[in-house]
């Protein structure tokens, strides 16, 4: 897969006296899909926010294509254009239409031609199943539709790498599939992605590598097959058993098993 696109060396992040990330080491190559999993509060989302300098780091270095991503760096604005981020809460502007939300950054930040960006946006909306929604406002869309608009908005900036932070966490179960399908399609196209998710089946299907974080440290960095079939640590075994337990013992599953549904 060539030279690393993103390099993270000895990164440490603290909130006050609390260490959230400790000595994180990671290389991401062009076209690679990395999935971050682990218990809540283990540092997954914080790591994503550090990658595009939404959070400053206290130690180590994050480099994109050999350039340091530094919250105080002069080149931060240019580097951020290469890092697309999709948030759990969509972050769409409510007073703008779908198309206006997508066009805003390419026109204002990248100074690109409006017709070129518009045509690209319409093609992307069609690709994610939202053709005809370009003049709708966010309040008129379902959660799954809003999240797909947020993905198109990120893609419209032509990023080198895409970061997804629990993008299905706020969605109803029936909407989760439509968003995950778009992300699977992006992976098939060779997009470089780092994904934080609790969707284990999706993680297994989309990842080239799975990283398990615990208390701000990477405990395992391995293939999906190794992670799910042959975990190296007891902590990961415990984590996976918890998901298996919930899959079998959830109230809905229990009712289905008993024939009540």
Token pair of 95, please? 């007073």
Q: Can you tell me the distance from the alpha carbon of 239 to that of 251, in angstroms, rounded to the nearest whole number? A: 20
Q: Can you tell me the distance from the alpha carbon of 104 to that of 245, in angstroms, rounded to the nearest whole number? A: 45
Question: Would you give the DSSP letter of residue 129?
Answer: T
Task: Tell me if 26 sits within 8 A of 218, measured CB to CB.
Answer: yes
Per-residue pLDDT, 261: 40
Reported as a single tens digit per residue, the pLDDT across 209-233 is 999 999 999 999 999 999 999 999 9
- Sequence ranges of the domains in the chain: 4-249
Whether residue 66 is predicted with pLDDT greater than 60 in this model: the reply is yes
The pTM of this model reads 0.89
What average pLDDT does range 70-80 have in this prediction? Answer: 82
Whether residue 244 is predicted with pLDDT greater than 70 in this model: the reply is no
Whether residue 235 is predicted with pLDDT greater than 90 in this model: the reply is yes
Average pLDDT taken over every residue of the chain: 90
Q: Do strands 33-37 and 209-214 pair parallel, antiparallel, or not at all (unpaired)?
A: parallel
Whether residue 252 is predicted with pLDDT greater than 50 in this model: the reply is no
Token pair of 170, please? 């706020």
Per-residue pLDDT, 250: 38
Give the CA radius of gyration of the chain: 19
Whether domain 4-249 has CATH 3.30.565.10: no
Name 17's bridge partners.
none
Q: How is the beta sheet containing 4-15 ordered, strand by strand?
A: 18-29, 4-15, 59-64, 67-68
In degrees rounded to 5, what are phi and psi of residue 86? -115, 125
H/E stretch holding 240? helix 234-249
């Amino acid at each position: 897969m060539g030279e690393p696109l993103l390099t993270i060396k000895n990164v440490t992040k603290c909130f006050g006296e609390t260490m959230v990330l400790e000595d994180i080491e990671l290389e991401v190559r062009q076209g690679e899909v990395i999935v971050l999993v682990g218990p809540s509060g283990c540092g997954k989302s914080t790591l994503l926010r550090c990658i595009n300098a939404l959070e400053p780091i206290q130690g180590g270095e994050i480099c994109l294509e050999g350039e340091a991503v530094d919250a105080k760096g002069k080149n931060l604005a240019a580097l951020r254009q290469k890092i697309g981020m999709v948030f759990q809460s969509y972050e769409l502007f409510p007073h703008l239409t779908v198309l206006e939300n997508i066009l805003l950054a390419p026109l204002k930040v990248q100074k690109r031609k409006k017709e070129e960006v518009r045509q690209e946006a319409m093609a992307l909306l069609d690709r994610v199943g939202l053709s005809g929604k370009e003049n709708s406002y966010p309040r008129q869309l379902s959660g799954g539709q809003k999240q797909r608009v947020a993905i198109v908005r990120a893609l419209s900036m032509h990023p080198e790498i895409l970061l997804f932070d629990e993008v299905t966490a706020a969605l109803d179960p029936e909407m989760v599939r439509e968003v995950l399908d778009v992300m699977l399609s992006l992976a098939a196209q060779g997009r470089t992605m780092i994904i934080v998710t609790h969707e284990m089946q999706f993680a297994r299907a989309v990842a080239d590598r799975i990283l398990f974080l615990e208390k701000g440290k990477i405990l395992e960095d391995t293939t999906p097959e190794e992670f799910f079939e042959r975990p190296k640590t007891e902590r990961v075994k415990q984590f996976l058993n918890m998901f298996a337990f919930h899959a079998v013992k959830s109230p809905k599953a229990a009712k289905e098993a008993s024939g009540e549904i």
